[in-house]
Amino acid sequence: MTSYKVEVDLHLHTAHSDGTLTPEELITFCKEKDLKIVSVTDHDITSGLSEAEEISSKMGIELIPGIELGATWESSEIHILGYYIDQNDRHFQKVLTDFREDRIFRGQAMVTKLQEMGLDISFERVQKIAGEGAVGRPHIARALKELGYVKTPKEAFDRFIGDRNQGFVPRKMLTLEEAIKLLVDNGALPVLAHPLMSSAKPGRRSIAGLSELLPIMKKWGLVGMEVYYGSYKTKQVNELLSLANHHSLIPCGGSDYHALGNPIEPKPGDAGPPKESVERLKLLLD
């Protein structure tokens, strides 16, 4: 529990990537939760931001345009959030388009693996669930739930499509340095996402050697780290806050809400940084 009322959520997803709510539905829910500042951080896509900006403006909520990128570091996958992104950056959008195209090929490969395991799942259904969004594992998980193979999307990750399961296929990603520098070149502010394992997110592990990695990422342009995240316990929050302060990184965070139907999924307003963190981010903008 925080000592302040959570009014900021800097990690939210819509149906334009792997969430289930439209931007309007998501922002309306955030309004119901009495949030004042939010960031939509869809994976590899910015198409939901214009609608989110319009609805947020009408509802009196401050919207920070964001993105979430996957990156590789040694043998691990690490996610980087970008805040205050320039959506009109052509090079940036070209990179995102390449990622989304790769997601389609990866999704097809994962469905093929599941079919070889005896599961009656079609990629056409996965694509229909994804709609206009970037195809991702949560869409496959929802298809498996529809078919009755699992009771929750989390179970699909645990049994079939987690990164240690037979149905997993890795996706194309930038290196960690490339991802951070892509955001820096865009004019965005890079922030490390969910550094520690979370009970609400299947298959997620803590970043090994985090304290040694942070100064390296900071040299590349990292400005913050998620501290107040999702279902993190008080001990985890305190550990990360100490690390953030030690490395002069801005403590950020949010619910990482997807509206996937997992009973233990944190909701908007369940976790988030103090407003001071947003003010510190703004001071770094040109």
203: left (phi over 0), alpha (psi -120 to 50) or beta: left
DSSP string computed for 199-260: TTSTT--PPTTHHHHHHHHHHHT--EEEEEETT--HHHHHHHHHHHHHTT-EEEEE--B---
Pick the CATH number of 8-96+173-283 from 3.20.20.140, 3.30.1490.20, 3.40.50.2300, 3.30.365.10: 3.20.20.140
3-class DSSP state of 96? helix
- CATH class held by domain 104-161: mainly alpha
pTM of the model: 0.90
Same fold yes or no, 8-96+173-283 and 104-161: no
Crossing angle between the packed helical segments 49-59 and 23-32, to the nearest 10 degrees: 30
Predicted confidence (pLDDT) per residue in 103-130, tens digit:
899 999 999 999 999 999 999 999 999 8
**For the chain, domain boundaries:** 8-96+173-283, 104-161
Is residue 179 within 8 Å of residue 71, measured between CB atoms?
Answer: yes
What is the band of 171 on the pLDDT scale with cuts at 50, 70, 90?
Answer: confident
Predicted confidence (pLDDT) per residue in 41-95, tens digit:
999 999 999 999 999 999 999 999 999 999 999 888 899 999 999 999 999 999 9
